[in-house]
Each structure stands twice: as C-alpha cells, then as structure tokens.
Chains A and B, each alone.
Chain A
Amino acid sequence: MLLRHTTAEEIDRKALTINPAKTCQPIGAMYAAFGIHGCLPHSHGSQGCCAYHRSALTRHFKEPIVASTSSFSEGSSVFGGSANLLQSIETIFSVYDPEVIAVHTTCLSETIGDDLTQIVSKADEDGKIPAGKKVIYCNTPSYVGSHITGYANQVAAMVKFFSTATPKKRNVVNLVAGWMEPSDMGEIKRLASVMEARTLMFPDMTGVLDTPLTGKYEMYPKGGCTTEQLKTTGDSKFTIGLGEYSTNTACIALENKCKVKFEMTDIPIGLKATDRFITALSRHANVPVPESITEERGRLIDLIADNQKYFYGKRVALFGDPDTLIPLCEFLVSMDMRPVYVVSGTPGKPFEERLKTILKDIPEAKFKGGELADMFRMHQWIKQEPVDLLIGNTYGKYIARDEDIPFVRYGFPIADRAGHNFFPKTGYVGATNLAIQILNVLFDHMDRTCAEEKFEFQL
C-alpha cells in the first residue's frame, strides 16, 4: 500500500500540505500562452521552473513544449533580473523568432522585485523588439493563488496588450476559454459553428498542443489565436467567459478597456452547464439553437436514462480545479450521483459558495478549497467513509489503488492514460463521453469484484 501512511483519523494540521491538489501560478501562465499563435512562453526566473513546467506539460499533452528561461544566477538574485530579461528578449527574437514572447514571473523574480513594465519598455527603447513583434507579460508569484490564477493572469495579459476598440464594431462574440483541454475547446468551437454563431475563442490551444505527426518539427504550429484576432476582441459585441476562476479577470479587463460587456458562465461540462452556455451563446450571438444540437442533448439524456439505476446514489470523491469541479459536481447531481468529498487547492470564495448550492440536498457532502485542501485530507475522509467513484488527475491513482475505487481521470496532469486530448468533456457530446467513462469504470469494477454467481452477461 503506497499510501499506508494515511490515517483515517484527521490530524490537526496548521501548516503542512500533503499531496497538493494544485500547483503554482507560472505553469498556468505557460499553458495559456500556448493559446496565442506563434508565441514563445518565457519564464523569468531560475532554469528549474521552466524545466519543471515543460516536463509537466509534456507528460500531460505528449507534445513538444518549448519555452525559454531567464536562467537566473546568484547575481540576478542580488542585482535583479533586468539584465537577464533584456538578454533573453534579444536571444529569443534572434534565434527562435516568435511573433510574441509571453513573459511570466516566478516566486524569485517577484520577491526580488523585478519591474517587468520598466524592463520591457527598456527593451523596446533599445530596439530589441523587432517591428511587428510583441512582448507581453504578467505577474505570477507562485505564493499567491494557484496554477489557475497564473492562467487567469496570462489571459488577462492578452486583453491588456492586444485588445483594441476601434469605431468598427464586429458582430462577433468572444469566448474566453478557461483551463480546459484543447479537445474541450475544439468541441465548444464546433458547437458555435453548428449554431452558425460568429465567435472568437482565446486563448485557443487547438492546433497547438494536439498537432498531427508530419515528420517535421514545427516550433510554432498552425493553431492558436493570432495577434490580429486578439486585437479585434476589443471590437466584439459581447464576451462569454467560460469559468469564473480562470477568465473573470480577463473579462473585466476587456469590459473596462474596450467596453465589451460580458456574461460569466461555467465551462460547459454536463447537461445544465451546457444548457446555460448554449442559451447564452444563442442569445448573445442572436442565433437559434439548431435541431442537431437538441438531438445531441437528447442522446445524452437517453444514455443517462438507460443507466440511471447505476448512477443512483453512488458516492463520489473529486479533486481538481474549481472551474471544472463546479459544473462537474452539478452534472453528477443531475445524474443522481452524490459528490460527497470535493477538494481544490485553488483559493477563492465562489468554489465553496457554488458547491453549497449545488450540493444542498447532499447533507453528508464535505468540500474545501484553498489552503490545506489537499489530497491527504480527502483520502482521510474516504477512509472514514468510503466512496464508489473517484474523479481527478493522475495523482488520484494511489488512492484508487489502495482503496480499490473505480477512478476516472479528469484534470491536470494526466500522465498515465491516453484520450484526454481526443475525447472532449465539454458540450453534450463531452458529457456523453464523461458519462460513458464513469459507467465503464463502475461496470469494470463490478465485474472484477462481484461474486461468481453474481457475474452476469447482461448489465
């Protein structure tokens, strides 16, 4: 038993985090930066940060993850990292030639107080930024928020540096994508195109982190939101934010900067959240909902109906990111399942508030966000009273194995299974994928563990 150290009895912890259900800001900023076409993310800090983020993203996406680093030394920590960043900008444009450099900070550069605004404008004055190219930046101190906060800050930087309001308004709805898979983004774009809604998604990792194998290494793949497109987001008639934690800052920034109004929705995971998204898109893009989408919805409901007795009453433990967990819990409740334990290391109020409403009919539910909301705690809860299903990233596999719990991988990182980059979990089709995945792990577990006389051909 790998987790033999976990005790059922909850110890009183004031300081210690064990097996975190989050990671730090910079990796979120790096991920979001891949949603800009031709962008090289740049980590302003020690080499290790950049290497770790690249490795973690590589393990999850199985794609080349290329980012540069300021390679801080002892000297930078004393005299500041300004010289490193100036040198970096020069090196990057002369060798890697990206359209955009997206700089994010680290705990080190934040603590020593590097002023990115000043450094980047110095680079500009010194002619280190070639014409037509751009250096954008955001502050992502690792000791504030989580990877989700870093993602949100990078997306907000896209608005800050690109979005421009011109007198020419466009009949387009911005879709600000929260932290999800490229496959999830692709599905949302497909829905929009089926509805014939004119939308513009940013950031957009489709075609960047899910590229085909061609025999050629493309440092800047075809996909991603171009800088031209990002500029026009200021002329769009409306914005829909997908996921409060990861897109609220950007939506507010866009409204303040370019007077584009917005509506905040959940990432469309599950039946109700997809309903809300489709309704919002239909209203703001002023397009009807086509029959084909209604059919997709109907097929999802058909699947749930066929299997409702297997969903009914199942106790589920979940961990991950709030923007995902909120609609996910709602979906589980719609299917008559009982999300009883939910943790997210990402701090912030909406998580617990929303879950309070969603889980109001499940009095035994325990949920916690922010400091010390880690997987160790969730495991202790599970030991006190077991669950029938576990949903979370690959780090859940230890608990799943020790406690023999059916396990659906969802979130970041997934380092030990294939498929997250192919089968979306958004929209009705994604919800169908998810429901099927849940059912299949439950059935596999049943078949593997039931008594021989209860082992049946038909379920």
Chain B
Amino acid sequence: MSIILEERKNQVGRAGSSGEAIACGKASLAGSVSQRACVFCGSRVVLYPIADALHLIHGPIGCAAYTWDIRGSLSSGPELHRLSFSTDLREKDVIFGGAVKLSASLDELIELHHPKAAFVYSTCIVGVIGDDVEAVCKEMAAKKGIPVIPVQAPGFQGSKKDGYRIACESLFQLVGTQNRPTPKFSINILGDFNLAGELWILLEYYKRMGIYVNATITGDGRVDDICNAHNASLNVVQCSGSMMHLAKMMKEKYNVPFMRVSYFGIEDMSDALYEVANFFKSEELLNNARQIVKEELARLLPALAPYKEALTGKKAAIYVGGAFKAISLIKALRLIGIKTVIVGSQTGDKEDYQLIQQLCDEDTIIVDDSNPVELSAFVKEKKADLFIGGVKERPIAYKIGLGFCDHNHERKEALAGYEGMLNFAKEVYGTIMSPVWKFVR
C-alpha cells in the first residue's frame, strides 16, 4: 500500500530540494479521505459570527445540525448566531419544492427575533430541486423591511474556498447601504472571527494606537457596521483565504485600499501595527505603535524565555485550513525554538506555498490537501513532537503519541497578539511536555 496516491504526487514537495512548485487548488481525488469541507461550510464559517443577523439554513436537517454553535466566535452582544435554524426539508419538499416552506420559515423567524438582516443558505439539493431562493428572499425583504440575502452555497459547487467567495459576495450586498461619518484614522478588520475573543485583543491594540475600528468582519460582527464598512479608510485583512475577495471588491467599487496582515506571533503582529501606521503616514500613530510593541515585548519576552529554553530542538507538523496561517505559525514556532518539519494546508495557493518553501528549512515536507494516512506517515518519518491542526487531526496525533494544539475552531485560548503568543507557548509547552507521552508503548 503506497502512502501517497499517484495522482497526488505533485501535491507533496520538500523545501529546498528541487524548487519545484507544488500543485494546489486541485479538486480532491474521489475516494480519498480528504480533510477538506464544502462550499456551504466555507460560507457558513465566514458569515456565522454576525451576531445580530439571522442565519437560516435551507436544506435537510444535517447542514444546520453540524454547524450549530461549532465555532467559538464570541459576541459582546446578541447571540442569535448561536442558534440553529433550519427548514428541515423532507421528501415531499424535495418533490414539490421547498420555496413555500422557506418563505413560511423566514416569516416566522423574522417575526420571532426581529433580526437586522437575514442570510439564507442554499445547500446541495436546493440547487438541484430548483427553488427560487432569490425570489423568496426578495419578497421577504420587501415585506419585512430588512435585507434578506441569499447565500447560494450548494456544497458540490467547489471547495470551502469557493464558499468564502460566496460569503464575501453576500457581505458585499450589505456594504454601502448605510452612511455614517468615520474619523480619519479608521479601519475595518477583515478575516478575524473572534475565536476565543481574539478580536478584542486586537481592538485594544488599535485603540491604544489611536485607530478607530469601523467594522469587524465578521468576528463579533454587526449588520449596521458592515453596511457602513465602505466609509473606513483602510481594510486590514487577516486570513487571506476568506476575505481577500471582499477587500478587492471594496477597493474596486468604493476605492477602499487594503493590506494583508497576520496577528500570530510577535513579528507578524508588530508588522501589522507598523504597516497600518505607515499607511496613514502618521508619525504619531507610528510612535504609538512602537510604544505598544516596546511595552508588550518587555512583558512578553521574559515570560517566553523559559518556554523557549525547554522547547528548543522540538519539531512540529502543521496542517491547517489556510496556508497564510501556516506561515505565521512557522515563524511563531521558530520564536520558541521549535522547528517546523511538515507544513500542509487544505486550501493554500501557489504564492503561499512558494513563501513556505522559502521560509522552511531544507527537506521540510510541504503538502496540499492531505489525508490521515499521509500525515501519520510524514509525522513518523520526521519524528515530530507536536501537531498543529483541527478537530479531525487531534485524535490521530494523540494515537501516535504526539502533542497537539488546535489552531482552528476549537481553540479555547486566544492565540492572536502578544498575549496570544504567550498562550500559544504555554499550550504548546503543556502538550509537548505532558508526562502522558512517556507512558506510550
């Protein structure tokens, strides 16, 4: 039994070796145990954190059940997003059409909760049975006086990444529909989903810097803010995969410039603050940013030192959704003495992988759209001590006696920003050094 599928050979590479680019953006081979999800999943995770909107899933019950409060996107106010609403399509609806049921559900829901807007997600079969979701939404919007936005996300129409794109297009329908003045130094934060309250850490930094955060899209998000997002001076985009499309559309239509940042690790976090300051060409902002970095590092570096000492020489494997995050993780791990020996992602693009190839040491394994069989073989070959991944990878890592850190939906501690870096070091230390691994075998 070969470990790597013949068809997947060019989706696996090694840093340094041949310099050959990794093939990516390919559809998964049918029959492989892919760790990837679908279009619906992509759109759902992006829009989910908008807490005062209604999220109605039009389809059989499963799609609503599996996305019910699975992502710890925290809200400082309303919690409507954490409930699960479904049209629960049954056989008769599949035969005679589900539009009537959708319309009735929306009517009942909007009456019940008076949301600021409603998102209606079309799942796989809705496309096939031909419900005119757009018409229902339009009619309901007119009747109820709120935006009712169809999210056309049948799972089969691509990968999770295509779902991000669809979510961005749905958001774009809201942008520009309200107008409120914003101060000069105003930004929108795109692509942070406020897992474990990470957004709140960033808001604090920006506040200290003297920056006004206009809209957070979508972590702790609110409909009215998104409607007014075009009035910010800059879009600061994290998690390249999910929100770049929105940033690009806003640039084109409203001429809002954007920049890509990452908030993981000291270097990237500091760069984010400096770059925002530089954008506004303000000496004051830059000084404030320098001050923040100085203060935070004075606190953080001594606290990190003992972890670095203990962890130096340990080896990590990374398998995450977006490759941009992997890049930050490689740097953050390096900061605490850990070498990355395997890097993989579900949805990385060409530039991401090129950057990873440059960033990593010789012979680091780089892989696109991997599966458990490959991953466990790589981990064994490279003798990794730590695996960083998501829910499906956790038990596999444990079974082979590795430490594990969830850098996905199930993170419980904030990992962004300076304090996030310390949390990250603590978590990584705790899992790698756990005495339990000594009892394995």
Contact = CB atoms under 8 A, between A and B. Distances in A.
Interface of A: 2-5, 7, 11, 13-20, 22-27, 40, 42, 45-56, 58-59, 61-74, 76-77, 83-85, 87-92, 94-97, 106-108, 111-112, 141-144, 146, 211, 213-219, 345, 371, 376, 395
B88 A5 contact: no
B420 to A, nearest CB: 23
A87 B30 contact: yes
Interface stretch (B224-232, B278-286, B308-316, B398-406): B398-406
Nearest to B57: A17
A59 B62 contact: no
Given A55-B391, A73-B156, A217-B376, A47 B125 contact: no
> Which of B84, B112, B125, B398 has most chain A Cβ within 10 Å?
B125
Given A23-B65, A215-B400, A47 B37 contact: yes
B194 interface: no
Q: How many B residues are at the interface, by size bracket?
A: 35 or more
Contact of A15 (B35, B80, B108, B399): B108
A5 B70 CA distance: 19
Interface of B: 1-2, 5, 27-41, 59-68, 70, 79-80, 82-91, 93-94, 100-102, 104-105, 108-109, 111-113, 123-125, 127-129, 154-160, 372-373, 376, 391-392, 394-396, 398-401, 440-441
B286 to A, nearest CB: 42
B66 A56 contact: yes
A258 B301 CA distance: 72
Contacts of A216: 399-400
Nearest to B108: A16
Given A144-B90, A213-B401, A214-B441, A111 B34 contact: no
Given A24-B61, A48-B38, A68-B32, A217 B372 contact: yes
Contact of B37 (A2, A3, A15, A51): A51
Contacts, number: 262
> Which of B1, B27, B30 has most chain A Cβ within 10 Å?
B30
Contact of B80 (A5, A26, A66): A5
Contact of B91 (A74, A87, A141): A141
B399 A213 contact: yes
Contacts of B159: 47
A373 to B, nearest CB: 11
Contact of B30 (A4, A74, A91): A91
Contact of A91 (B29, B68, B100): B29
B30 A52 contact: no
> Which of A16, A67, A87, A141 has most chain B Cβ within 10 Å?
A16
Contact of A19 (B60, B84, B108): B84
B87 A16 contact: yes
22 contacts: A5-B113, A11-B112, A15-B101, A46-B39, A48-B38, A51-B34, A53-B66, A69-B31, A69-B34, A76-B156, A87-B30, A92-B31, A94-B1, A96-B373, A108-B124, A108-B156, A141-B91, A142-B62, A143-B90, A143-B91, A213-B401, A376-B83
Contacts of A142: 59-62
Contacts of A76: 156
B30 A84 contact: yes
Nearest to B1: A97
> Which of B31, B93, B109, B398 has most chain A Cβ within 10 Å?
B31
